[in-house]
Amino acid sequence: MHNPLPRLGRAYGANPLHLLALVACFALTGYVATRLVSDPLVIRIVIWLAAAVIGHDLVLFPLYAWADRSLKAVLRILPSTWRNQTPVVPPLNYLRIPALGAGLLLLLFLPGIIQQGQQTYQSATGQTQQPYLGRWLLLTAAMFAISAGVYAIQSRRAGAPFRAVVRQLRPLIKPHERVITIAYRSDQHAGALLTTYALYFLDDEDSPAWRRISWADIANIQWHPDTDTLAVAGLPGAPVDHATIRLTAPGNLLEVGHGLINTTRIVTGPVDLEATHPSPGS
């Protein structure tokens, strides 16, 4: 028997469960409306709902949309994989979720936090509204602390393959070199490793072995997606004139490699000593 759900999804433009959830929400709204029709405060409830919708769309939404864009802009200038040496877990959602929770709690308990109607509240409950602010601050701190802990665990797990490869290849790397990034052939199997001074790659033309090319000896690196290979061109007279490296994906290897090649050229470029230090007779 033909399944009509895919056709319904294409016609609706989303998963049929989304349509079912909307129908349930409208049914619940209709039931609540029938219960409130005879309520003497129904007009005030409708006015409050309309004001809430307008306040959200015209005031709150622009504010938190602006805050979200500002947060993204700040995160772009924070250290990336290039500087941190390990894969960076995007921290955006780990800041969004506790901030959303703190904002919702602030909206729900704002009258208590700002101690609005404190006399009425004290008369009805026999308590004051003073603890509201402190408790909201404690809950906000707890949410951010839990989010930070989860982020630290995820970052540690994300960097585990990187650290394992670095430990495995540490005997090949010179003591003064710092590992920047790694490109893989497959999961957790490295094919190329970039340090501050050289490119290390797995050469299996004869027998699999790791080789080293200094950035000062590399003219250019280029990725060929049709063959999943990285082509390395050496400078004239360099120990390695060319190399082909098989990789599953280059990651940020090209960006980092081009930056290191250009930096090395600037630092090690030829200098005319005679022009820099003129002879005494000139």
* Domain range list for the chain: 80-172, 177-268
- DSSP letter for 280, please: T
Each residue's pLDDT tens digit, 144-185: 999 999 999 998 888 887 788 788 888 888 888 888 888 888
Helix residue ranges per DSSP H, 37-91 = 42-55, 61-76, 81-84
**Residue 142: pLDDT band with limits 50, 70, 90:** very high
Both structure tokens of 16: 């049929």
E strand or H helix at 229? strand 229-234
Task: Please give the pLDDT value at position 23.
Answer: 92
Output b/e per residue, 236-249; b: 16+ Cβ within 10 A: eeeebeebebebee
**Residue 37: pLDDT band with limits 50, 70, 90:** confident
Mean pLDDT of 89-115: 90
Each residue's pLDDT tens digit, 239-257: 878 888 888 878 788 888 8
Q: What is the pTM of this model?
A: 0.61
Each residue's pLDDT tens digit, 44-68: 888 888 888 888 888 888 888 898 8
Each residue's pLDDT tens digit, 66-78: 988 988 888 877 6
Rounded to whole angstroms, how far apart are CA atoms 46 and 52?
10
Residue length of the chain: 282
Mean pLDDT of 103-114: 90
Output b/e per residue, 126-148; b: 16+ Cβ within 10 A: eeebeebeeebeeebeebbeebe
Both structure tokens of 53: 């919708």
- DSSP letter for 154, please: H
- DSSP letter for 235, please: P
Task: Please give the pLDDT value at position 73.
Answer: 85
Share of the chain above pLDDT 70, in %: 88
Using the predicted structure, report yes or no on whether residue 282 has a pLDDT greater than 60. no
E-strand stretches of 92-217: 179-186, 189-195, 198-203, 209-214
Mean pLDDT of 80-91: 59
Task: Please give the pLDDT value at position 100.
Answer: 92
Using the predicted structure, report yes or no on whether residue 199 has a pLDDT greater than 60. yes
Four-way CATH pick for 177-268: 2.30.29.30, 3.40.50.300, 1.10.1740.10, 2.60.120.480: 2.30.29.30
Using the predicted structure, report yes or no on whether residue 274 has a pLDDT greater than 60. no
- DSSP letter for 272, please: -
Task: Please give the pLDDT value at position 143.
Answer: 97
Both structure tokens of 143: 């949410």
Q: How far is CA 210 from CA 135, 173, 216, in A?
A: 58, 11, 18
Between CA 6 and CA 13, with CA 12 as vertex, the angle to 5 degrees is 85
Helix residue ranges per DSSP H, 15-130 = 16-36, 42-55, 61-76, 81-84, 92-108, 110-113, 118-125
**Residue 188: pLDDT band with limits 50, 70, 90:** low
Are 221 and 257 within 8 A, CB to CB?
yes
Rounded to whole angstroms, how far apart are CA atoms 165 and 87?
13
Task: Please give the pLDDT value at position 136.
Answer: 95
